[in-house]
Structure 1
Amino acid sequence: MKQRQRTFLFLLICLGLGILAELCFFHGVIGISYPIFIAAFYAVLYYRLGFKVSHRRIGLLLMVMIWVLSASFLFYDNEFFYGINIFVIPVFVFVHIVLITTPNHVDWVSLVFFNRVVQKISQTFSYVKRWLKISFKRTLFRQMSNETSNTIKRIVKGLFVGVPLLIVITILLISADEKFANIMMEIPEFILKLNFLEYFFRFGAALMLSLLFFGAFQTLKKRYVLPLGRQTVQSEKVTWDSVIAGTILVLLNAIYLLFVVIQFTYFFGDALHEDYTYAEYARRGFFELVLVTVINWTLLLICLKLVKAGKKGYGFFMKAMYSLLIVASGFMLASAYIRLSAYEAAYGFTLDRILAHTFMLFLMVIFAYTLIRVWLEGISIAHFYIIAGLLFYTGLNTINLEEVIVDNNLNRYEETGKIDIYYLDSLSYSGIDGLITLYEKDPNYPELSVMLEHRKEMIEHLRLDTWQSFNFKKQQVVKRLQELELK
């Protein structure tokens, strides 16, 4: 009996969490509401599961990332990451709560752990379905005789058949009589005034989220994992002939060295190829070099995974080939980085170009670690890649990239007198902030005052009083825009 009361109490807590989720995510633009919900969610999580968790280090790292990503909704206003993080954060949260309830002997970079994540998703829905079925039987039909319960079931079946038939007949009657049609048409209008449908869907969303939270927490409460022997399937290990791999690496490294020596001035010099404009020179070379680098990385991973060198001397030769391939790839990344920088200096900074820069820096870090892995075979490469990827993505969210773009474009305007105000206008509030700064420097810039006047009119229609949408950057820019006096 006590166990049933505890379950009912926890169901009420999950209902409160579901209502909070509906309030946080279904009432306009998300702002401070995301970190508030994350705080409430983890409070319920640790209330239910306690603080005895597994995989403490990676679990703590992942939780910090979740908090940082949710806090970005409060401090920044980047539309690109806004759309992505709405879906990324729930995935991170679910993986995290499965991770900290999975025994330490299960590697978190393994097929076993991936299967457990998928299994927990399935078990959550199965638990909710089973619990609802049992609860209805215990509450609705427990005090009823078999005859009464069967009668209710038949009534429900009759409703499933009768309601569609009622709709069809009503439509026919509306077509047959105009006065009847006018009376029936007043009913939906009355319902719309009451916002019945809106409240119905909001209640349904809160209830559905509550049941999902309840099912997930109840499922995760059972920390049982199938023995590893039952989940691993013995299969023949795939290998790649070392002589074939060595031949491929020798050919690639030879062409890379030749390419670097002959085309060195083409990589780093200011001379243009006679067949290309400046833009084509920078843009064409950039994409080609990045593509070659990604191909090299893929080939390197395949070789490290599948190739067994065998003899000690040949093993040293393969490591030397791997190292040479990494160095050549690093050179190409540096060349691509310089080309993109030149393109930005000529045509301005955009989010795509900044992201390309950061991705190349990420690849440089990956290649540096892979070079260490070539000579120290005992260290794990998969763990580092995943952790580095998570840190890279979280780092992008901690930096206001749009503000970086705006500052760089304003600095370029100071040097060249050129700036794309239409691109700044396409950004979020950081772009508007940059337009205001530009106006304060040069009020006579063509079409700038018209653009800012349009923005001032837009903010008058914004719902700035909703607590869910509170955002520091938004508040700062709106206040600055309201105080701006246009000539």
Structure 2
Amino acid sequence: MRTATLWATLATGLLSMLLLDDGLAVNLLLVAVPASLAAFFAGRAAGRRAHAWALVWGIGGIGLLSVPALRDADWPSFLAVVTAIGLGSIALQGGRSWPAVLLGPIGVLNSVVLGPAWGWRGLRERFGSARRGVGVGLRALVVTAVLLLVFGALFAGADAAFANLLSDLMPDASVSGGPWHVVLLVLGLVGALAVAHTAAAPARWDRVVVPAGRPRNRVEWALPLVVLVVLFAAFNAVQLVVLFGGYDAVLKKNGQSYADYARQGFWQLLIVTLLTLLVVVFALRWAPRDGVGDRNLVRGVLGTLCGLTLVVVASAVRRMDMYVDAYGLTRLRVSVVAGELWLGLVIVLIMAAGVWGARWLPRAVAVSAAAGVLAFGLMSPDALIAERNVQRYEETGQGGKTPKFDLEYAQELSADAVPALDKLKEPMRSCALSSVAEDLATDDKPWYATSWGEVRAREILRDHPLVTTGYSSVCTQMAIEQMYR
């Protein structure tokens, strides 16, 4: 272990202790920088070189960590952070096979146990003995802290502007939060050591050999799939008839509304897509492999099944669009549609692998997942939900009709939705923004824990303040009306 790795690890722990107490935003990127440097120094000391794909995974992970810095909503930020951890594990360990892509995080978890012991050995090697090294470090930290406190307090007392600058820039290190700060310090140190140890001694998942399945007879393999293809074709034919014949005739015959028709089918079609992927995986495992004829049979049957599944994906998305027209857009609905679209992309990649080979498929699926999560976070789902529901509110209110708007749900959205909700007319605007405005007014997080979505929302609310006088009863009445409408 090089001294640079130790310093980068210490910097990660200190930044975690000072910056991560108030939430996640830019501070997550600031903590990730020294942790990445620790991995780089440890990998170089172990004789590893950074390959092009490792840079791709690493840059992708850093890009995903920008989502909490841009968006106030917690749910896309959580998804982005989890995906960034997965990409980081692939960057640290490398690999191009399915075990390397799917099992990468296990190697990092193993380093969580081995990393601290490895770091302690490196600390003893660099400083001679543990007692002397710890003593030198503690004395240096104590002297530094005393100098900063004494001179910082004197300068703050001499000038009010400098005192305000210190209060804005310095993280909160109050005694009341001492135990939690210690926990953050330990987590930062352990995390950085785990990352560095993984870079120095990666798990070689590419060496894991997945035994091939026993090939089946053509009839035994193809007959169930051909029957399934016929079933898919019949369902898709009905979908096309309904599409060109019009939904009205079908709905009138079955006595259904648009919303009932969409709700009845979307979840079933989503499950169909997932099950089809499983069928393709197991079919490839047991596919006949005796010659060119068998390969052509596999490509023809599975390619047809995948093509028909894409029509099912389109039908599911169309049904959800109908359901949104009837009841509005929500977080669950936008999430499952995004998931369905990604499953459709995976099916396209499988079809391409059947033509050009499957060597690149694991990496392509991982890249598509990371790109989808990043795009999902950057497009700001809460803002998209608010914008779509505001548009629906305006469209349904035309011609003297009663507009449809879920006020209670709008009040649950994050600060990312403020720009779209700001377009509403009073009193609906003030009612929809009241909860967000109250949260922002009582939120005093420092700059490094504040997202760009919160900053933008504060600017909008400052330039166009809410009209709150006498609106409490009006908002309550509107919420009740919308609930029973």
- TM-score, normalized by the shorter chain, greater than 0.5: yes
| AA at the equivalent of 1:128 | P
- Give per-residue Cα distances to partners, 1:394-425, cap 9 Å, x unaligned: 22122222222222222222211222222221
Residue number in structure 2 paired with 1:202: 181
Counterpart residue number, 1:258: 234
Deviations 1:353-411 (A, max 9, x none): 22233223223322223223333446543332222222222221222222222222222
Counterpart for residue 462 of structure 1: 443
* C-alpha separation in 1, matches of 2:50 and 2:297: 38
Unaligned runs of 5+ in 1: 100-106, 143-193
Structure 2 residue 262 is the aligned partner of structure 1 residue 286: no
User: After the TM superposition, which residues 241-320 of structure 1 pair with which residues of structure 2 at under 5 Å, given as runs?
Assistant: 241-262=217-238, 264-266=240-242, 269-271=246-248, 272=251, 273-320=253-300
Kept in 2, the 8 Å contact 1:421–1:435? The answer is no
2:305 paired with 1:363: no
The partner residue of 2:57 within 50, 53, 62 is 62
Query: What pairs up with 1:32-431 in 2 under 5 angstroms?
Result: 32-50=26-44, 54=49, 56-99=51-94, 107-111=95-99, 118-119=106-107, 121-129=109-117, 132=120, 135=124, 138-140=129-131, 196=175, 198-214=177-193, 216-217=195-196, 219-220=197-198, 222=200, 237-262=213-238, 264-266=240-242, 269-271=246-248, 272=251, 273-377=253-357, 379-417=359-397, 418-431=404-417
Larger Rg: 1
Give the equivalent residue in structure 1 for 2:24.
30
Q: TM-score, normalised by structure 1?
A: 0.73
Give the letter aligned to residue 109 of structure 1. Answer: S
Shift of the 236–315 alpha-carbon distance from structure 1 to 2, 3 Å rule, reads closer
Secondary structure in 1 matching 2:68 = helix
Amino acid at match of 1:461: T
Q: Distance in 1 between matches of 2:18 and 2:447?
A: 10
Higher mean displacement: 264-273 or 129-138 = 129-138
Do 2:92 and 2:202's aligned partners in 1 also have CA atoms closer than 8 Å? no
C-alpha contact (below 8 Å) 2:20/2:28 kept by paired residues: yes
For residues 201 and 253 of structure 1, what CA distance do their matches in structure 2 show? 58
**Residues 236-268 of structure 1 deviation map (CA, whole Å, 9 limit, x = unaligned):** 743344321200112112222233335543456
What's the counterpart of residue 161 of structure 2? Answer: none
- Identity level (%): 16
Distance of 1:215 and 1:367 partners within structure 2: 35
Alpha-carbon distance in structure 2 between the residues aligned to 1:333 and 1:434: 29
Displacement of 1:141: 11
Deviation at 1:19, TM superposition (A): 0.7
| Gapped regions of structure 2 (runs ≥ 5) | 134-172, 398-403, 470-485
Q: Distance in 2 between matches of 1:89 and 1:82?
A: 10
Say which is worse superposed, 362-371 or 452-461, in terms of deviation: 452-461
**Aligned partner letter, 1:31:** A
Deviation at 1:120, TM superposition (A): 5.4
Q: State whether residues 76 and 473 of structure 1, in contact with CA within 8 Å, keep that contact through their aligned partners in structure 2.
A: yes
Deviation for aligned residue 1:215: 5.7
Partner of 1:437, secondary structure, is coil
Paired AA for residue 443 in structure 1: E
Moved over 6 A (4+): 112-116, 224-228
CA-based RMSD: 3.5
For each residue in 1:257-315, what CA deviation from the matched residue of structure 2 results, as whole angstroms up to 9, or x when unmatched?
Answer: 23333554345631315253332211111222222222222212222232024354454
Relative distance call for 1:400 and 1:129 in structure 2 (3 A) is: same
What's the offset of the Cα at 1:12? 4.2
**Compared with structure 1, are the counterparts of its residues 225 and 31 closer, same or farther at alpha carbon in structure 2 (3 Å cutoff)?**
closer
1:440-455 equivalences under 5 Å are: 442-445=425-428, 449-453=430-434, 455=436
Contact 1:15–1:207 (Cα < 8 Å) also in 2 = no
Residues matched between the structures, number: 414
Structure-2 separation of matches of 1:245 and 1:378: 21
- Counterpart of 1:169 in structure 2 is none
Of 256-265 and 330-339, more deviation after overlay is shown by 256-265
Deviation at 1:22? 1.7
